[in-house]
């Protein structure tokens, strides 16, 4: 209990003399001294690391690259990435087809054919993805846009009704948007 109390007080910043007066052992005092030296060393090391990172213009570290993985890509970057996947799929397909002609074992031939079918499916999905990116219109984004427009129209209709005005034109627009929304789902 006393030791825990003294450790807590030493973190607060009591000097060695106060600790000695309270009857703390020499190990606690030495522990305090080494911990402050260690924090100073780590502070200096940390300072050097920060200088190296920001002042010397060192290349990005792994953490920064990982954070870039969560950044949204531009349309051109998405297209490049999908096209790179497509070329990789084509290369794998060619390699598997060349090994298929060399294989005589029936089991390995079936495995290779299974992999070729999987690659064909992946290629088809990538082509669809490329088409969606080039269109720049995803179904989820389209639905969200229509929902937002519907909410705005409903708000306008509420304001018109509160002012006792005619909202027949707005009702037609709302019905049209609702029809489009149902057809998209």
> Is there a single domain that holds both residue 157 and residue 110?
no
> Is there a single domain that holds both residue 89 and residue 124?
yes
Which of 135, 153, 173 terminates a domain? The answer is 135
> Is there a single domain that holds both residue 153 and residue 121?
no
DSSP state of 58: P
> Is there a single domain that holds both residue 96 and residue 127?
yes
> Is there a single domain that holds both residue 89 and residue 116?
yes
Residue 47's pLDDT is 81
Once rounded to an integer, what is the mean pLDDT over residues 135-163?
Answer: 82
Which of 135, 159, 176 terminates a domain? The answer is 135
Residue 123's pLDDT is 92
Burial of 115 from C-beta contacts in 10 A (0-12 / 13-18 / 19+): middle
Based on the structure, what is the number of domains in the chain?
3
Once rounded to an integer, what is the mean pLDDT over residues 68-87?
Answer: 80
Is 17 inside any structural domain? yes
pLDDT tens, residue by residue, 97-148: 888 888 778 888 888 889 999 999 999 999 988 887 887 666 677 778 888 8
| Enclosing domain of residue 165 | 139-184
Is 69 inside any structural domain? no
User: Which contacts qualify for 2-9: CB closer than 8 Å, 24 or more apart?
Assistant: 3/28, 7/31
């Amino acid at each position: 209990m006393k030791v825990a109390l003294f450790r807590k007080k030493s973190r607060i910043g009591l000097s060695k003399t106060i600790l000695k007066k309270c009857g703390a052992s020499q190990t606690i005092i030495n522990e305090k001294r080494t911990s402050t030296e260690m924090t100073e060393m780590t502070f200096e090391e940390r300072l050097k690391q920060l200088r190296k990172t920001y002042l010397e213009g060192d290349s990005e570290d792994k953490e920064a690259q990982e954070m870039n993985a969560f950044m949204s890509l531009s349309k051109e970057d998405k297209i490049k990435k999908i096209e790179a996947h497509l070329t990789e799929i084509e290369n794998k397909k060619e390699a598997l087809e060349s090994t298929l002609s060399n294989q005589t074992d029936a089991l390995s031939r079936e495995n290779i054919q299974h992999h070729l079918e999987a690659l064909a499916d992946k290629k088809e999905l990538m082509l669809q993805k490329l088409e969606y990116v080039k269109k720049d219109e995803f179904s989820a984004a389209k639905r969200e846009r229509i929902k937002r427009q519907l909410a705005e129209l409903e708000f306008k209709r509420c304001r018109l009704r509160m002012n006792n005005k005619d909202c027949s034109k707005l009702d037609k627009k709302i019905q049209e948007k609702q029809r489009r929304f149902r057809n998209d789902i």
